[in-house]
Chain A
């Protein structure tokens, strides 16, 4: 069945780089788009960016200068890297599969705290 699982460090130092991995199963990265969405504690959802099935990417303009999304199709993994982390980047990060513009499957999320 379709599954997505985020993994990464729970704690990152301010100004450092966050690296997250979304490992997927039950579908092919070359057939479906995978998005990253984040949610600060007690707040709403923010779309971060997407790895299109064709291999290109698109980013939220507010994060574009700090954000990079890539993938390894042989490992069924999508990667997120975001640099210059600050306290406002303390949030839960989700990856989600897109089907016809909608997010039909989500990972369980990974909580990342930015703190020294």
Chain B
């Protein structure tokens, strides 16, 4: 199975700050990488797919990038509504494994 190592486990940042979350894939997954946001008591929501493509309705302050097998989610100007837990997911092959999550809070 492909392992996704996500960091940090938690993150506290100030409003308007730039935030970056990373995921390291255990093997080549190309651009088959998605990011999800989960708010308390809610289902995960797709934010980014194909490493860099924004899902419908996702603000442009979210962006994704890749360097080799390391993938990053960047929030350019943190807003209150961005708090939640973020997960990466590899979509290269089943089982479609997820990262362990990053809990994002406002400082």
Segment at the A interface, from B11-19, B41-49, B65-73: B41-49
Interface centre among B34, B95, B97, B101 (most CB of A within 10 A): B95
Q: Do A44 and B94 form a contact, CB below 8 Å, given A102-B49, A106-B44? A: no
The number of A-B residue pairs with CB atoms under 8 Å apart is: 52
Q: Which residue of A lies closest to B90 (CB)?
A: A101
Chain A interface bracket (under 10, 10 to 19, 20 to 34, 35 or more): 10 to 19
Binding site for A on B (CB under 8 A): 1, 32, 34, 36, 43-46, 49-50, 55, 87, 89, 91-92, 94-101
Binding site for B on A (CB under 8 A): 35, 44-47, 50, 58, 60-61, 94, 100-104, 106-109
6 closest cross-chain pairs (CB), A and B: A101-B91, A106-B43, A102-B49, A45-B98, A102-B34, A47-B96
